Amino acid sequence: MGSRTASSESDSGSLRWKGERTFRQSRLRSGVCLLSLLSLLWIGCGDDDDPPTDPGGDPDPVELPDLVAEEVATFQVVDLEVRVDRDGQLTEGKRIDNEAYAIFISSLWIGGMVAGEPHANIAWDGGSPWSNFSSLVNGEPIGPYIVTSDHLANEEIEWPIAHGYPTNDDGEPVVYGDSMVWSALRTATDRQLNGPTSSPMPGLEIGMSVFGVADEDLDNVLFLRYDIHNGSDQIWDDVYVGLYSDSDLSFIGPPGGNRTMYIGDQGITVTYAGTLPMNQPQWMSAFAFLTTPTEDAPQHRVTSHRLMVKNAEDLYGETNFTTPEQVLWAMQGLTNLGSPMIDPSTGEGTLFAVDGDPSSGTGWIDNPPRDVRGLMSSGPFTIEADGTETVFAIWLLAEGDDFAGARAAVIGSVIRARREAYRLVVGRTE
């Protein structure tokens, strides 16, 4: 893949995280802090006539962390915890102060047409194998790594830049946010692929970054960045990306008692406790795109929102979801048969499932409560041979005194995250 950076250019500007911490900045900051500390010690010790005494000997060296590829990286930042595995999955996402998780599995989906044939890479909860992604490159794990600014000071680390680890304009490794998990994702070669995983994208190379920002306005948000590289010599046409989520809010309601909704004017997919009265305190798990390569998408880069139903054999069921072509149909907002979704409240075709208002009971409402999945997608776009595109998204948990309050908290969190992401990443607000 070469030692390319994780930077990408778009019409709106560079997508490099401008709040990143670099190796050079870390060493400079450490030097300034050390000089300041020595000055304070000199001033505060002894009389004017007595210079400070030399205690003798060199101080104990500070042990810097090494870069270690984990089987599963348990990542904590601010108020959230999530596990990142070698199959490109986020699992068991939860608040640090709560034992019950809100995400069972979540993943990026990507699919497209290559030489006239459908191809797709997914991770899901609908059948085995669960994923055709892998962090194994030629049998060697390239992630997931938990990375902090302390790692940047370790000059002994051999950074996996050749595999897509992000760098700044000077080619130095960076850490997005205050800490992150990074993985290289390729097509899995260590398992039998079948069904919807049977025909992966040729030459797929992804750098996956999960990170957080220590900010009181973003303490319930995790940022998800995917730098997607076409390492083949073929054009990827009609490419779609999706955010798949199997969310469980069992800590505020019975297992399997959730519902999904889509907030269309904000482009947010939400899981909420479908058995709780509207006037009771609520928690919601939500995903949103910050940026994708799709330009012509009025709903914040979202072009479809589709149901995925567990243990069902119907238009949206996972049981009869068996081909890469159906993966593309799902990300295009179509049913398992490739037909338009029908809004039961209007009888009309739609690309956006369950976009009604549960508080008023109007529009398409997810019913009955169940073990839900959601798929929010963006596309189509093209990735040329040896081309790279970036998908930037968030996951968050929000609470409110009632349904309306929790919904407002979700929207407020997404608006803040979008504002900060655009300011920090592309140097402007939107």
pTM of the predicted protein model: 0.85
Domain segments of the chain as ranges: 9-34+72-425
Q: Percent helix, strand, coil in the chain (nearest 5)?
A: 15, 40, 45
Give the model's pLDDT for residue 53.
Answer: 53
β pairing state of 72-77 and 282-291: unpaired
The rounded distance, in Å, linking the Cα atoms of 306 and 295 is 20
Give the model's pLDDT for residue 251.
Answer: 65
Q: Find the helix or strand (DSSP H, E) in which 324 lies.
A: helix 324-331
Give the model's pLDDT for residue 255.
Answer: 60
The rounded distance, in Å, linking the Cα atoms of 224 and 211 is 7
SS3 string of 288-306? EEEECCCCCCCECCECEEE
Residues in the chain: 430
Query: Is the CB of residue 293 less than 8 Å from the CB of residue 389?
Result: yes
Report how far apart, in Å, the C-alpha atoms of 190 and of each of 101, 187, 405 are. 29, 9, 46
Q: Find the helix or strand (DSSP H, E) in which 43 lies.
A: helix 23-44
User: What pairs with residue 77 in β-bridges?
Assistant: 80
Give the model's pLDDT for residue 341.
Answer: 98
Tell me which long-range contacts 277-282 makes (C-beta under 8 A, separation of at least 24): 278/358, 278/359, 278/402, 278/403, 278/404, 279/402, 279/403, 280/402, 281/252, 281/399, 281/400, 281/401, 281/402, 281/406, 282/252, 282/399, 282/400, 282/402, 282/403, 282/405, 282/406
Give the model's pLDDT for residue 64.
Answer: 87
Give the model's pLDDT for residue 104.
Answer: 92
The rounded distance, in Å, linking the Cα atoms of 100 and 93 is 9
46: buried, middle or exposed (CB in 10 Å: 19+, 13-18, 0-12)?
A: exposed
Grouping H, G, I as helix, E, B as strand and the rest as coil, residue 127 is coil
Give the model's pLDDT for residue 114.
Answer: 98
pLDDT in tens, 316-358: 999 999 999 999 999 999 999 999 999 999 999 999 999 999 9
* Sign of the four-CA dihedral 205, 106, 390, 183: negative
pLDDT in tens, 192-243: 999 999 999 999 999 999 999 888 889 999 999 999 999 999 999 999 999 9
Spans in the chain with pLDDT lower than 70: 1-62, 250-256, 422-430
Query: Is the CB of residue 246 less than 8 Å from the CB of residue 104?
Result: yes
The residue type at 340:
P
Q: Which two tokens stand for residue 133?
A: 């992604």
